[in-house]
């Protein structure tokens, strides 16, 4: 499948679609998942147009993982979660639904099941407040 420059994440990068931004630099963008699997679920994307890990440049991959680590540390701190799950899906068979490479940072707490992916939209005011807290915790 060829990269679609009109996917929702490409539109977010260009400022054509809104997001609850957590972090941005010249190569990456992090924002809250509006259908989170757990409180604090954050997405990290490269600004480079790439459908999957197989299409991303080595420089883009390096920038993406560097930002993912930075966001994971902040999400863990803010949510007080004892663990953090990183997920990165490539292709429909793997469960990818937005075809712009991205990492999920999902806080995990023992005994609390994850919500189903992309099923229930979160309260936007809560997302906005959480985005501000995570953003402030980034070092």
Cα–Cα distances in angstroms (integers) from residue 90 to residues 18, 54, 70, 102, 117, in the given order: 24, 8, 22, 9, 15
Average the pLDDT over 4-17 and give the result. 97
- Catalytic sites, residue numbers: 102
User: What is the chain's alpha carbon radius of gyration, rounded to the nearest angstrom?
Assistant: 14
Q: Which residues neighbour 112 within 8 Å (Cβ) at sequence distance 6 or greater?
A: 38
- pLDDT category, 1, cuts 50, 70, 90? low
Which domains does the chain possess?
23-111 (3.30.428.10)
Average the pLDDT over 89-93 and give the result. 95
State the average pLDDT for the chain. 94
**pLDDT tops 80 at residue 111:** no
Q: Which residues neighbour 66 within 8 Å (Cβ) at sequence distance 6 or greater?
A: 28
CA angle 34, 87, 10 (to 5 degrees): 55
Place of tokens 């940072």: 105
- Per-residue pLDDT tens for 25-51? 999 999 999 999 999 999 999 999 999
N residues, the chain: 139
């Amino acid at each position: 499948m060829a990269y679609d420059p009109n996917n929702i994440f490409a539109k977010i990068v260009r400022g054509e679609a809104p997001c609850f931004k957590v972090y941005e630099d010249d190569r990456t963008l992090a924002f809250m998942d509006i259908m989170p699997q757990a409180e604090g679920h954050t997405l990290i994307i490269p600004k480079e147009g790439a459908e999957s890990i197989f299409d991303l440049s080595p420089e883009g991959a390096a920038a993406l993982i560097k930002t993912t680590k930075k966001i994971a540390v902040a999400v863990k701190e803010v949510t007080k979660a004892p663990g953090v799950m990183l997920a990165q899906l490539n292709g429909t068979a793997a469960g990818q639904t937005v075809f712009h490479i991205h990492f999920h940072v999902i806080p995990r707490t023992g005994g609390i099941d994850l919500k189903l992916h992309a099923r229930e939209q979160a309260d936007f005011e809560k997302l906005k407040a959480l985005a501000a807290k995570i953003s402030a915790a980034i070092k």
